[in-house]
Amino acid sequence: MAELMLDVAGLAVAYGRTRVLSGVDLQLARGKTVGVVGESGSGKSTFAGALVGTTPISSGSVVVDGVDVRGLKHGALRDYRRSTQLIPQDPYSSLSPRRTIGQALAEAIEPRRARVRANRDLIVSWLERVGLSADMMDRFPHEFSGGQRQRVAIARGLIIDPSLVIADEITSALDVSVQAQILDLLADIKRSLGLTMIFISHNLAVVQRVSDEIMVLYGGRVVEAGPVEQIYANPQHPYTRRLLDADPGSPRFSLAD
């Protein structure tokens, strides 16, 4: 079997007495993308938080690239958080309005120093890779469209070559046409760099565009998981069938909600 990058076993997360994830198992090989799909409140972002080490795990284990996340403290936890990058839904709230795009990317490379000039080549290469240009380095987030900001967020997440990338609803706030462009971009980068990715969305058609495998969450539990083709050809769980039926037309892969 291909090298295992992520091994989640029996993962449970509770907020106080409320359990929001139970018994989640997931294995992901290096270079593969798993799409995590589920309705709002099904526990997708909680799962993302548990993977990047910001949400406390109640029981079970998360092992990334051979490292057990639950045992990490201090410097090791900081290093781990750098090696697993979360790309958020709304980059506007995570990009500082006072920092240029160049500064935001420099900060991703060197959190404490953020030297733009010293990292110029790398920053420019990433801006170009996500379909932006070098002259955009000196501009501020408010000068960009939602789609462009999401491109910046992708560049910022990937510029330090993380072992695991988690994209949480990164196209949900965008128009359908822009959504498609961002998905194509991500699929492209994924192929050329061999990213290992967790791609989260409430929309199965969106997930299908970039994923090798799919995991369906419902009420904090995995109700179905497997290769994309298998899920589409032969959905087992009633919730998955409803998700498929909600996509109008044939082929079933409409991006609109």
| Residue ranges in contact with ligand ADP by CB under 6 A | 15, 20, 38, 40-46
How far, in Å, are 42, 48, 59, 60, 150 from residue 53 at the CA level? 19, 9, 14, 14, 23
Q: Taking CB within 5 to 8 Å according to partner kind, which of ligand ADP, Mg ion, none is near residue 150? A: none
Output the CA angle 14-205-234, nearest 5 degrees: 85
Q: How far is the CB of 38 from Mg ion (least distance, A)?
A: 9
Identity of the residue, 103 or 179, whose beta carbon is nearer to Mg ion in the bound complex: 179
Q: How far is the CB of 47 from ligand ADP (least distance, A)?
A: 7
Q: Taking CB within 5 to 8 Å according to partner kind, which of ligand ADP, Mg ion, none is near residue 171? A: none
Q: Which residue has the tokens 């791609």?
A: 199
**Chosen residue from 22, 33, 45, 203 binding Mg ion by CB under 5 A:** 45
For residue 88, the SS3 value is: coil
In the complex, which residue's CB is closest to Mg ion?
45
Q: How far is the CB of 233 from ligand ADP (least distance, A)?
A: 25
How far, in Å, are 14, 27, 133 from residue 9 at the CA level? 16, 8, 42
Q: How far is the CB of 48 from Mg ion (least distance, A)?
A: 8
Instruction: Show the tokens assigned to 128.
Output: 């170009």
Side chain identity, residue 23? G
Identity of the residue, 46 or 203, whose beta carbon is nearer to ligand ADP in the bound complex: 46
How far, in Å, are 3, 140, 169 from residue 235 at the CA level? 27, 45, 23
Identity of the residue, 35 or 102, whose beta carbon is nearer to ligand ADP in the bound complex: 35
Identity of the residue, 50 or 136, whose beta carbon is nearer to Mg ion in the bound complex: 50
Contact assessment for residue 98 and residue 133, using Cβ atoms and an 8 Å cutoff? no
Binding site for Mg ion (CB under 5 A): 44-45
